[in-house]
A = this chain, B = another copy of it.
Amino acid sequence: MARLPLYHRSLADLRHAGVTTVSSERLAELAGVNAAKVRKDFSYLGTYGTRGVGYEVEYLLVEVERVLGRTHLSPVVIVGLGNLGRALAAYDGFDDGGFPVVGLVDADPAKIGTELVGHRVEPPSELARIVAEHGVEVGIIATPAAGAQQVADALVAAGVRSILNFAPAVVTVPDHVPLRKVDVATELQILSFYAERGDLDVRQRAERTAS
């Protein structure tokens, strides 16, 4: 499920606070979801708690990390180094979360060759080499909308396993490549929509955009 990262963060906080055991109810409160959902999610993963006591934070954390694939590093390449791309490149959360940035690509000749957070900006022609060389698993698209599909195709061809798209455009990829989209402008419009409609439900749904 798409809630696992939430649980992971809550569990990490708990461990950091020295808590060794947690009930589904407390965890649900921290993650902002329903308690039954928490229990069902974990039971679905085959992870077991102790009735009458709760879940062991340390053990559960390891299990969640295993399922999330966080036990190994997933190298990331960022394509497109405008404002957003540069912010992403400088974002600390990547390395901390096991997603080291190992490559930066941009088509602008003025940017190619410049240094950014310890990496040299490479031209698109080097994409395949970077992916192969560093075992890149995730490609991040931070280009303008116009180039997004082209970049996605190149990433797939180069062999990345999944794609995170920040460009405000619909891109299509083969079924076997997980694709998620983050679009700030869209989020704002959705908010605006709900504000307009007043008291409608604003549940955020984990939609998987794929084709």
Are A182 and B180 in contact, with the CB atoms below 8 A?
Answer: no
Stretch from A118-126, A128-136, A188-196 forming part of the interface with B: A188-196
A96: B residues at CB distance < 8 A: 185
A99: B residues at CB distance < 8 A: 185, 188, 192
Copies in the assembly, this chain: 2
Q: Which of A88, A163, A169, A193 gathers most chain B CB within 10 Å?
A: A193
CB distance from A41 to the nearest CB of B (A): 12
Are A182 and B182 in contact, with the CB atoms below 8 A?
Answer: yes
Pick from B30, B86, B91, B190: contact of A180, CB under 8 Å? B190
Pick from B90, B138, B182, B189: contact of A83, CB under 8 Å? B90
- The digit string for A172-204, where 1 denotes a CB below 8 A from any CB of B, is 100110111111111111111111111100101
> Is residue A159 within 8 Å, beta carbon to beta carbon, of the partner chain?
no
**Chain A residues with a Cβ closer than 8 Å to the other chain, count:** 71
> Is residue A116 within 8 Å, beta carbon to beta carbon, of the partner chain?
no
> Is residue A53 within 8 Å, beta carbon to beta carbon, of the partner chain?
no
Are A188 and B164 in contact, with the CB atoms below 8 A?
Answer: yes
Chain A, range 105-126, C-beta contacts under 8 Å to B: none
Pick from B4, B32, B191, B195: contact of A211, CB under 8 Å? B32
Stretch from A5-13, A17-25, A150-158 forming part of the interface with B: A5-13
Are B185 and A5 in contact, with the CB atoms below 8 A?
Answer: yes
CB distance from A112 to the nearest CB of B (A): 21
Q: A32-B209, A172-B32, A184-B88 are in contact. Are A8 and B189 (CB under 8 A)?
A: yes
Known interface pairs A32-B172, A97-B188; 8 further A-B residue pairs with C-beta atoms within 8 A, sorted by A's residue number: A70-B192, A88-B184, A97-B189, A98-B192, A176-B199, A181-B204, A182-B187, A190-B206
Binding site for B on A (CB under 8 A): 2, 4-6, 8-10, 30-32, 67-70, 74, 76, 83-84, 86-88, 90-91, 93-94, 96-99, 137-138, 161-164, 168-170, 172, 175-176, 178-199, 202, 204-209, 211
